Amino acid sequence: MPNPSPQLLLLSSSTTHGRPFLGHALEAVTEWLAGRKRLLFAPFAQRDHDHYVDVVQDAVNPLGVRVEGLHTAADPVGAVREAEALFVGGGNSFRLLSELRGRGLVAAIRDAVLTGTPYMGASAGTNMACPSLRTTNDMPIVRPPSFEAIGLVPFQINPHYLDPDPGSTHMGETRERRITEFLEENDVPVLGLREEAWLRVRGAHAELAGFSAARLFDRGAEPREFAPGADLSFLLRSEPRFDLP
């Protein structure tokens, strides 16, 4: 990593079954915010930006945090530069990346985060922290000018990672099959983050946290399971071997 101190909180999902938005991870969000009281939120993965800001504001009200929507900034790049903390929310990853690129925000966010601005992602926002969009689950409803994402970590994450359902009669590819196809074309580790899991990165240290194990896929190796609390710092030393964009 070019900078020793990125502060990342990468959630598999913003919502888990039976809990409100961010409800499963509020303690982790509090710790990640480290007392900051303003949160700049990128709502671009969903269509209704204002509504999405309201959802996030409701979620962090108990923490006394004020949310600002990045879509309302007259100068989005400047807003990112001055942010106390950044949150990129989930929705459709293709739409999100297109909107970020259209506003010049991919490089702006990378620069801000690698010089210390805390970054939180959920689902599509976690995808954005990877080198590429290529391990998203989303439908390619629009075509971004590049699949290259923000690249805050040097490996891929698959959010909402889902184990095969042994009772299913559906013949569509399992998630593991899809990731195997990814590894046929790209030599980059993929961390399958189940919905209640997240990754906490502090500088050169990465720890799996939350309430689910995660599954790591790498070319030519059997998938490996890691339990919450596992030290995944070795992933920060990955050297992604694929052509971008």
Which residues are catalytically annotated?
Answer: 123, 138, 160
Packed helices 93-102 and 105-114: angle between N→C axes, nearest 10 degrees = 90
Which of 198, 201, 179 lies closest to 190, judged by CA?
179
- For residue 13, give the amino acid letter: S
Rounded Cα distance, 196 and 161, in Å: 10
User: What are the E-state strand segments in 86-196?
Assistant: 86-88, 119-122, 156-161, 190-194
Q: Residues 163 to 182: which contact its own copies by CB under 8 A?
A: 169-173, 178-179, 181-182
Query: Which of the ranges 68-76, 112-120, 184-192, 226-234 carries the binding residues for its own copies, by CB under 8 A?
Result: 184-192
Least separation in angstroms between residue 201's CB and its own copies is 23
CA atoms within a 13 Å half-sphere pointing along the CA-CB vector of 108: 18
Choose which of 50, 51, 58, 142 interacts with its own copies (CB under 8 A): 142
Nearest approach, Cβ of 158 to its own copies (angstroms)?
Answer: 8
73: its two tokens: 């900034």
Q: Can you list the alpha helix ranges (DSSP code H) found in 49-127?
A: 49-60, 76-82, 93-102, 105-114, 124-127
- Residue 139 interacts with its own copies (CB under 8 A)? yes
Contact between 140 and its own copies by CB under 8 A: the answer reads yes
Q: Does 82 bind its own copies (CB under 8 A)?
A: no
**At its nearest, how many Å lie between its own copies and the CB of residue 175?**
9
Locate 184 and state its tokens.
């046929």
Taking contact as CB under 8 A, which single stretch among the options 9-17, 102-110, 112-120, 222-230 is the one that binds its own copies? 9-17
Residues that bind its own copies (CB under 8 A): 13, 15-18, 47, 91-92, 94-95, 133-143, 146-147, 160, 162, 169-173, 178-179, 181-182, 184-186, 195, 245
